[in-house]
A and B are shown apart, each in its own frame.
Chain A
Amino acid sequence: MKYFLLMPTLIFFLLFTLWPIIKVIEMSFYQTNFIVTRFVGLQNYVDLFHNEAFIQSIKNSVLYLAIMPLLTVIVSVFVTFLISDLSKKWQDISRILVYIPVLGGGIILAQIWRWVFAINGLMNWVLSLFNIAPIYWFGDGYISITIICIIVVTTTFGGYVIILLASLTSIDKSIYEAARMDGASNFQIKMKIVLPLIKSTIALVYLLSMIASLQVFEYIYALVPQQYAATITYNIYVTGFKNSKWGLASAQAVILMIITFILSYLQRRISNESNK
């Protein structure tokens, strides 16, 4: 019975998770465009060291990693605290409102941001009210990456708010009462008592956002399809799916997999340490 129940999942796991992982590692040792294939050993990995696009994408990814998870945690904790002070009914409504933009994540809401940051778009109009000349927003790597990070945060933090709100409900209410008796202000209670109690959930949010920031794709694809804004993920897409250098793309995919594993591991270590 148990094997019968497990069998479908195992078959799907072998076919669409395990086999692909082995396949991508294997592909990273070959040079192929599906017409000519030859074994090159570690050559793809060696080539990546002087591949300008790849190095640029690593640098960009570091920037995404520096901005996005931190911004995500700040925004989602801030909004969580604002919502948690509301009455039950308004909390329920806020949960729905905060999650709707998440549904438009990925490509769906990407288009509107092209208009917001167009040369004759909303943002430049707002600037013109202050007599600032129009800016070509996506002409430069740093500004593009910052804008993309902000956009991604607006369409992802809602999910994290729901997770954080759930972890707040597990806190014993008498702690608040005791602190209030001692004369602590609302702000002090939040910073000194609540924040440490939901530390492990915040660490989880940080981890999830870290993994997500390495995988930013749709907004680069729709808004700034340029090397100077590309994440590793976007560069893999360009190398493989656009330029048909599948071996090189696979080698990057393997490196990205390793980076993700290391980051998750380190993050888990750190959050376990701090919980002791």
Chain B
Amino acid sequence: MKVINKVILVMIFILLFIPIYFMLIGSFQDIHGIFIMPPNLFPKHIILDNYNILLKDNAFIWLKNTIIVTVVSVFLSIFLSTTSGYAFSVYNFKYKNLLWNILLIQMMIPRISLLIPWFVIMKDLKLSGTLTATTLPVVLSPMGMYLSRNYFESIPKSIIESARIDGANEWQILKMIIIPVSKPIISVLGLFAGVSVLQDYVWQMLVLSDVEKQTLIVGLIRQSMNRTGDIGLLVNPIGMSFAAGVILLFPLVVLFLIGNKYFIEGLQGAVKE
């Protein structure tokens, strides 16, 4: 019985990884190699054309833009979630619960309903097509606020109280007590923000039209979907799109494997009731 369960689980994992594996080997094949059936699981003949064509023009700029957008949004997202989460966990003020519920309402709003006004607002502010427009709307994370409030509430209030009695002011409390124990929550928030911005194709695709301003995910996908490009007969769109997928998935997997402990803790923390 137990053995059957394990066999089923292993088969599920194999099924899950089949597409990823085929994407990886397909990205090193020409169009004929990709469509040979039965598929060749261990191709001997490896070509790099898909990557070369995909990366030859703007890859460096896209990489630079991606790094800027990711770093800034991770930083801002951590800043917003920790400051508000801390305020809600430590202080009391009027309409605290009401305000909290209003802030979390964003979880219930479909993304597309925000994308239209974001797009229009960015146009009105003459920010359309800029990295600023890519970054600013996506950094406020209700889930991040929720996680950080939970985290700070787990710090015993008595520690903060006794520091106050000893004459520490609010800044000192923050600096001496709170920040030193906040590394786990900061890692969680940073990982979530990083992953979500690296996966965020739709908003970035809508707001970034200029090739020079695009991020990797927009540039690579657009380049690989552009089947009538100027590259002519050499184009192997499906191979290029596999290569794009591999390039985009790689940093996400690395980020996840580095921080998987924090990441999974964060996901679990999100449902604690």
Contact = CB atoms under 8 A, between A and B. Distances in A.
Contacts of B9: 79, 82-83, 86, 94
B201 A115 contact: no
Given A2-B93, A85-B2, A108-B199, 10 more contacts: A9-B80, A19-B121, A21-B113, A104-B249, A108-B245, A114-B238, A115-B34, A166-B268, A241-B206, A261-B108
A163 B267 contact: yes
A13 B23 CA distance: 39
Contacts of A146: none
Interface of B: 1-2, 5-6, 8-9, 12-13, 15-17, 19-20, 22-23, 26, 34-35, 37-39, 79-80, 83-84, 86-87, 90-91, 93, 103, 105-106, 108-114, 116-121, 123, 136-137, 139-140, 145, 170-171, 195, 199-202, 206, 217, 221, 224-225, 238, 241-242, 244-245, 248-249, 252-253, 256-257, 260, 263-264, 267-268, 270-273
A35 B206 CA distance: 19
A8 B80 contact: yes
Contact of A108 (B15, B106, B139, B248): B248
A272 to B, nearest CB: 12
Contacts of A12: 80, 136, 139-140
Given A12-B80, A85-B2, A111 B116 contact: no
Contact of A104 (B15, B20, B273): B20
A35 to B, nearest CB: 12
A79 B8 CA distance: 9
Interface string A65-84: 00000000000000100110
B87 A2 contact: yes
Most buried by A among B87, B139, B145, B225: B87
A17 interface: yes
Nearest to B248: A108
A34 interface: yes
Contacts of B91: 1-2, 5
A101 B15 CA distance: 11
Contacts of A141: none
Contacts of A96: 256-257, 260
Contacts of B268: 162-163, 165-166
B110 A260 contact: yes
Contacts of A36: none
A99 B245 contact: no
A233 B260 contact: no
A250 B140 CA distance: 22
A170 to B, nearest CB: 9
A9 B103 contact: yes
Interface stretch (A38-46, A48-56, A174-182, A251-259): A251-259
Interface string A7-25: 0110011011101110110
A113 interface: yes
Nearest to A208: B107
Contacts of B170: 1
Contact of B195 (A103, A162, A166, A214): A103
B116 A233 contact: no
Contacts of B93: 2
B217 A111 contact: no
A104 B18 CA distance: 13
B110 A256 contact: yes
Contacts of B171: 1
Interface in A83-136: 83, 85-86, 94-101, 103-109, 111-116, 118, 120-122, 125, 128
A120 B36 CA distance: 9
Most buried by B among A99, A108, A211: A108
Given A111-B245, A115-B238, A16 B136 contact: yes
